[in-house]
Structure 1
């Protein structure tokens, strides 16, 4: 019996490895590992242009593509694997300029990574570049100290950019003609800046370690207004379309010397406040069970729609789902029922529906779906034996783009159509291959 099993094992493994060995003669492991990787897909709010980052064997650069054909073209031209990350890519509303952070986060000593052992230490900095091919221009230093802490935000008029650095907020003109200036000098650390849609205010978190506030800075008067301040931890401000209100997530203040084991629930609440007076009220609060804890995608999922509804994520039924609640309050409405989890979440161009990815009907893959902010049956926009993520709709609502891959093709930018998804353009893989050679 043992001999029979051993023979079966040898035959099975041998027949499995044989095609791999033969296949390897024309398709090498180096080719597999050298495929470029796109990330950071984003769109312009008033132009039909998208941008993303390509990591090509460690050589990181920004690319853009325009409707209707979405032919990609390279905007930055950094050479070689220098270990300098590119992050927080944003397009100005007109799509003519890209802002981004370049360089690694700093360590406890305040220095960035120096993988090339350069005599002059590299810095993490904010840059801007016109998509017509001009040289990048320096806006200022960033030097944040946490993973994915880069957070550049372009003003609604496309003239300025604000970002957190050195525990405060900094602002600079995108044309680079003036140095970046510190916006405030509050206690603690200021982060997650968010422009009001009218461009007159900036909402942000003022973190005091064991508690935090949502602060609103009036750029004309330089006055700070705190939204419903308490000793809780408030974070993740999102503006209403009319710039009059902001919604945010509230968690209890930190309890010191609490044991790590057993794990405790992390209850939270959703609050909305008037940006002028600071008066606020609770819209929703979670339960106290483990499944009621703040979801992993809570901040990325929080959206303020044009339909008088606020979108948020909750795992109260054991799955990460999207819910919709009226700005006036009331019972939240489940938008994505079923035995699956929601991940990437984005507003549609008209801000009346939600684009999201989930593993509905296929636990091993991710596809893009759309659902109205007021409810209704979600619609699958992609399907099949592929994976899609990072959905972005162009400002005119006529094109949907994403990043996608499959078991046999590396991640690439795609356009989603009624018949499936299309590589933009179809020779993108050949273009990337030429860049690698």
Structure 2
């Protein structure tokens, strides 16, 4: 039961009594009793104050810490410059040699792109190329020779619709997309020629590359270039057979493309399972007897503002000698199955036979393939 009280001095001070109000009824009490009540209230308030001290200290400590963190963050923010942010280093284009005893990558630091290499067993990283000017030119498409002694790479970006390569520094000499080689041991860099998509010949003494829809070759140490062959269409995705006797590639011809094989000894071209579809990204089987590639069926170019063109695709495996083969897997017909949305040829192509061997494409049974 709650008792509300009101204490006031009696009009007759000589009696030293107080009026105690309880439930609207007045009761007179002595001064000693009032003193005891006041002492009890004082002790209660003091006890409350003692309990509040730790909480007040915690609030004060938290406020001071937050203020210090804000001041420190502002001080650190003032020490970071835009130049430091723009020159943040990062690696890319990681590759390994055929024997697995070397790894190489492109390292971007302070606006400069250079190739680094590490060799077993120490695997200590060291800078291989020395492109020391901050000219904004990319270094991409690095590849080891078969013997692991040379690395080929592309310096400069792709051409735009006007046939121009990006020139961020407005260099009066212009900018070009060029193939370079670098000796892994000495670090000697050699400019080969304009082009892209480098690969090495089977004996590692020549580097091949693409330019203007043709495939060219030049000595690794530099020298006169030569066109490997003349053929209709644009050459894409070239790859030597495991024994180095033949070169497979995709021949693009506008709305369709073929998978072709070039034999240097006979200087002859042959086409594998040609259709009116677009066949891309050929890859040799480890034994060199079969070729896997991606087939993109021809579809009408019907676009809308809110829907991209659906592009089904399939994986084909053909006999490299006879050209006969079959489809071993195909995509669905929904938006999520479209080739452009699902995966690109550059990513999937090198792993076609790995996927087939592991039978990991939607549980497909690749059988003897």
Same fold (TM over 0.5): yes
Equivalent pair of 2:302/2:309 in contact (CA under 8 Å): no
Conserved in 2, the CA contact under 8 Å of 1:211 and 1:254?
no
**What secondary structure is seen at the aligned counterpart in 2 of 1:326?**
coil
Unaligned stretches of 5+ residues in structure 1: 1-10, 143-149, 315-322, 330-437
- Which of 189, 205, 228 is the matching residue for 1:183? 228
In structure 2, stretches of 5+ residues that fail to align are: 1-63
1:305-344 alignment, distance < 5 Å? 305=353, 309=357, 325-326=365-366, 328=368
Q: Deviations over 1:203-250 (max 9, x none)?
A: 111111111111111121121111110001111111100111110111
Matched residues in 1 for 2:347 and 2:110: separation? 29
State how far apart, in whole Å, the 2-side matches of 1:82 and 1:89 are: 19
**CA positional deviation for 1:102:** 1.1
Give the aligned partner of residue 155 of structure 1. 201
Q: Structure 1 residues 82, 263: closer, same or farther in 2, change over 3 A?
A: closer
Q: CA RMSD in A?
A: 2.9
SS in 2 for 1:309: helix
The CA distance in 1 between the partners of 2:99 and 2:190, in whole Å, is 23
Tell me what 2:289 maps to: 244
- Cα displacement (A) at 1:153: 1.6
* Structure 1 contact 188–206 (Cα < 8 Å) conserved: yes
Residues 382-397 of structure 1 mapped to structure 2, 5 A cutoff: none
Looking at structure 2, the residues matched to 259 and 306 of structure 1 have their Cα atoms a distance apart, in angstroms, of: 37
Aligned residue for 2:192, secondary structure, equals strand
Equivalent in the alignment of 1:224? 269
Task: Tell whether the 8 Å contact from 1:305 to 1:311 is kept in structure 2 after alignment.
Answer: no
Counterpart in the other structure of 2:170? 117
Question: Which whole-Å deviations, capped at 9, do the CAs of 1:260-315 have from their partners, x for residues lacking one?
Answer: 5433432111101111221221111122222222222454134255897166767x
Question: Equivalents in 2 of 1:288, 1:220: separation in Å?
Answer: 43
* 1:301 aligns to 2:354 (yes or no): no
Bigger-Rg structure (1/2): 2
Q: What are the within-5 Å matches in structure 2 for residues 266-277 of structure 1? A: 266-277=311-322
Change (3 A) 1:261 1:34: closer
Q: TM-score, normalised by structure 2?
A: 0.74
Paired with 1:107 and 1:179, the residues of 2 have a C-alpha distance of 27
1:174 partnered with 2:214 = no
Label 1:33 to 1:22 Cα distance change in 2 as closer, same or farther (>3 A): same
C-alpha contact (below 8 Å) 2:177/2:194 kept by paired residues: yes
Please report how far the alpha carbon of residue 179 of structure 1 lies from its aligned counterpart in structure 2 after TM superposition: 1.9
TM-score by length of 1: 0.63
Q: Which structure has more helix as a fraction of its residues?
A: 2
Q: 1:5-60 deviations in whole A, cap 9, x for unaligned?
A: xxxxxx9x978855522443665564344221211111100250111111112211
> Does structure 1 retain, via aligned residues, the 8 Å contact 2:294–2:316?
yes
Match for residue 330 of structure 2? Answer: 285
Match of 2:180 among 116, 119, 127: 127
Query: By how many angstroms is 1:185 displaced?
Result: 2.4
Comparing both chains, which one has the higher relative contact order based on Cα–Cα distances under 8 Å and sequence gaps of 6 or more? 1
- Deviation sequence 1:316-344 (CA, Å, 0-9, x none): xxxxxxx6653536xxxxxxxxxxxxxxx
> Equivalent residue for 1:263?
308
Which range is displaced more, 255-264 or 89-98?
255-264
Equivalenced residues, count: 304
Does the C-alpha gap of structure 1 residues 130 and 218 become closer, same or farther in structure 2, counting only changes over 3 Å? Answer: same
Q: 2:87 aligns to what?
A: 34
